[in-house]
């Protein structure tokens, strides 16, 4: 299958600091890719480069075969790229429903009637329909996470980037969120998910990549990647002597 997202030799420097070091990546339209890595590995920066929130220093970003490297975030969003953020920042003075309408307008998903119908569908899909008229400031952590996901879905994405959306949830809340993400992936939306809660991640994704020092050091079937000696040392902090003892 042709790649939906392609990164070709992507570099990102902040002065002398290089946070993306020649990244190559392909994600097809039917994939759910998980990304793990230690803090400071460049994971959130990678999302910012894909969405256009940060410009690349060099390299190319392509979406559905189109070079979007120089395109604004709004243009990329309307093409089908959406993301959630690790820390939800809803429009607190607006209702849950109004938050989705803003996102739908940003995603340019048709006329007013179509946007309203689509937002209602997203609210039901993410378990927020009963909270539609509630100010976003009154939501629980799980509900704010769901709203973050719902706002991304309101733009009608073809590629959904999730940034540590399971963090801070109880196991039951995490399980409920996983079920929602699985249903989104089954509906035909490609997913790239950054997450530290690995058991949640591998219950959804069929492919796992490990980012370290601004480049990928492993990429493949999740259990095989987690068993890789270098991954265990870099990400899990298990040295070679400990692996041998185990």
How high is the pLDDT of residue 109? Answer: 54
For residue 58, is it within any domain?
no
Is 157 part of any domain? yes
CA separation for the pair 82, 183 (Å, rounded): 17
Cα R_g (the chain), whole angstroms: 18
CATH number, domain containing residue 161: 3.40.50.300
Report pLDDT for 227: 93
Structure tokens at 31: 């994939």
Phi/psi-derived region of residue 25, left when phi > 0, alpha when psi is between -120 and 50, beta in every other case: beta
What region does 234 belong to: left with phi over 0, alpha with psi -120 to 50, or beta?
alpha
CB 119 within 8 A of CB 107: no
Of 25, 57, 56, nearest to 217 by C-alpha is 25
- Is residue 212 in a domain? yes
Is residue 18 in a domain? no
Q: What span, in angstroms and rounded, lies between the C-alpha atoms of 52 and 73?
A: 5
Task: Name the domain count of the chain.
Answer: 1
In a domain? residue 238: yes
> For residue 35, what are the domain limits?
27-52+66-245
Identify the pLDDT of residue 86: 87
**100 within domain boundaries:** yes
Has residue 35 been placed in a domain?
yes
pLDDT block averages, 10 residues each, the chain of length 246: 93 93 95 93 94 97 97 95 92 95 81 83 94 95 93 95 91 92 94 94 96 94 94 72 42
């Amino acid at each position: 299958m042709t790649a939906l997202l392609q990164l070709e030799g992507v570099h990102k420097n902040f002065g002398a600091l290089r946070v993306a070091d020649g990244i190559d990546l392909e994600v097809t339209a039917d994939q759910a890719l998980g990304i793990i890595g230690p803090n400071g590995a460049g994971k959130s920066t990678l999302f910012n480069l894909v969405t256009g929130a940060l410009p690349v220093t060099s390299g190319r970003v392509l979406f559905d075969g189109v070079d979007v490297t120089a395109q604004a975030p709004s243009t990329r969003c309307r093409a089908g790229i959406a993301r959630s953020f690790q820390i939800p920042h809803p429009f607190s003075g607006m209702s849950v429903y109004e938050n989705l309408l803003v996102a739908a307008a940003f995603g340019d998903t048709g006329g007013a009637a179509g946007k309203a119908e689509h937002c209602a569908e997203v609210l039901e899909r993410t378990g927020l329909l009963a909270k539609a008229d509630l100010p976003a400031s009154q939501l629980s952590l799980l509900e704010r996470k769901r709203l973050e996901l719902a706002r991304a879905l309101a733009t009608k994405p073809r590629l959904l980037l999730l940034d540590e959306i399971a963090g801070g949830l109880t196991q039951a809340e995490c399980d409920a969120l996983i079920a929602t993400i699985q249903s989104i992936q089954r509906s035909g939306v490609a997913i790239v998910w950054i997450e530290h809660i690995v058991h949640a991640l591998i219950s959804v994704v069929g492919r796992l990549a490990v980012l370290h020092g601004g480049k990928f050091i492993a990429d493949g079937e999740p259990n095989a990647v987690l068993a890789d000696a270098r991954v265990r040392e870099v990400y899990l902090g298990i040295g070679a002597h400990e692996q041998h003892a185990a």
